[in-house]
Amino acid sequence: MTPHRRIDEASPVRIALLGCGTVGSAVARLLTEQAEDLRVRAGRRLELVGIAVRDTTRERPGIDSSLLTDDPLALVTAEEVDLVVELIGGIEPARELVLAALDRGASVVTANKALLATHGAKIFETAERNGRDVYFEAAVAGAIPIIRPLRESLVGDEITSIIGIVNGTTNYILDKMHSDKQTFESALTEAQELGYAEADPTADVAGHDAAAKAAILAGLAFHCRVRAEEVFCEGITEVTPEDIAAAESMDSVMKLLAICQVNPEDETVAVRVHPTMVPRKHPLASVDGAYNAIFIESQSAGRLMFYGPGAGGSPTASAVMGDLVTVARNLVRGATGPGESSYRGLAVADAGAIRTAYHIRLQVADVAGTLESVAACFARNHVSVRAVRQEAQGAVGEAVELVIVTHVARTQDLDAAVAELRLLDQVTGPVRPMRVEG
């Protein structure tokens, strides 16, 4: 274990910043503009000693150019650095730099959900071995304080489920598809024009961003390790105006949800991200625009909801600064905060074993025996039907839309039932299943 540089009453906490984009530049400016307040809150002066960037010649208003370097490894392993703030994103070189900083003896603050969801075990093991902190409030839901409540406030409780809207881009798109009756493509274009979506929006609209956040939340809530690749993930690219209309006919709205639950029957953790019909009476249904919200259920505290801006330079910088001050306080006291808690070792449930209710739309010929054949498909595959509705009455033999709502069923059973439905002679059009929660 590398000993800390002694932080006596006259010594500042020295900070290295990796990345100077929207969030990084906001953090750098806050360290300068609020220097005196931060000194009082942290118990020592916070001194920014270097900023690693790709291009040191680029103009960065409000940033001292003498702090810039294009050698991040030299910066994070410098003897005088006490705390490294990683805001470059991605897996490499972030992984290498964070591990090097921890091994050198610096604590780390990061907003990198992809890194933690992929290599969190190694990072936390390295931090524990070296007696250092890893804080990551900004990795999930921007300014919303959710990581610390899970690591500290609720650590004495038994959390049973987490359901959240954790990606502002997809929430904005789906909200526009409801409120303005836009198509996915037009809503995405508007989100890009407003800066809510990247030029390449794949990570958001395909669900990968939300899946990484879900992995982090599940690991914290259920004290186990969950990797991003273990999360069932389905994005919103296939959501149509017809799906939106179907949700509204059920007095529901469509949301991309991250859902983390423990299955008490086999002690597995089900972690999934997918478009979902949410009843309007559920608190998450009213979360609009680019906002995020996370709904927690626990045995003792009951139901809790955290709501706020989930992205953007200032909100994310706020979460980073909160972690930065907390870690600085720990350094001054010679202490560390909570590390990884993975003692339960729960397995992640196979995608086919995930249980939820479904809303299924299908076109069928309006002839005798059709409903009986459809019901038999569900019965053979152990899917219990809750309600059936025929959308319109046509002439005998014409195609009509049938809507079926199921009770909670296993994904593999529902998939088998849908596969059978598509082979029926009476089914004349696409079979469209959508998940229902809440």
Q: Which residues are annotated as a binding site?
A: 18-25, 113, 198
Rounded Cα distance between 75 and 14, Å, is 11
Q: Which residues are annotated as a binding site for NADPH?
A: 113
Greatest alpha-carbon span in the chain: 89
Contact between 44 and 332 under an 8 Å Cβ cutoff? The reply is yes
Q: Report which secondary-structure segment, H or E, holds 387.
A: strand 385-390
Residues 6 or more apart whose CB falls under 8 angstroms from that of 90 comprise 112, 114, 115
367, 369, 362: which is closest to 391 by C-alpha? Answer: 362
Neighbours of 185 (CB within 10 A): 10
Q: Where are the beta strands (DSSP E) in 128-204?
A: 134-135, 159-165
Contact between 124 and 131 under an 8 Å Cβ cutoff? The reply is no
Neighbours of 299 (CB within 10 A): 9
Residue 267 is given by DSSP the state T
Q: Which residues are annotated as a binding site for NADP(+)?
A: 18-25
Q: Annotated active-site positions, please?
A: 213
161, 179, 387: which is closest to 263 by C-alpha? Answer: 161
Q: Is 203 helix (H, G, I), strand (E, B) or coil?
A: helix
Contact between 144 and 306 under an 8 Å Cβ cutoff? The reply is yes
Rounded Cα distance between 239 and 385, Å, is 24
Burial of 310 (0-12, 13-18, 19+ CB in 10 A): buried
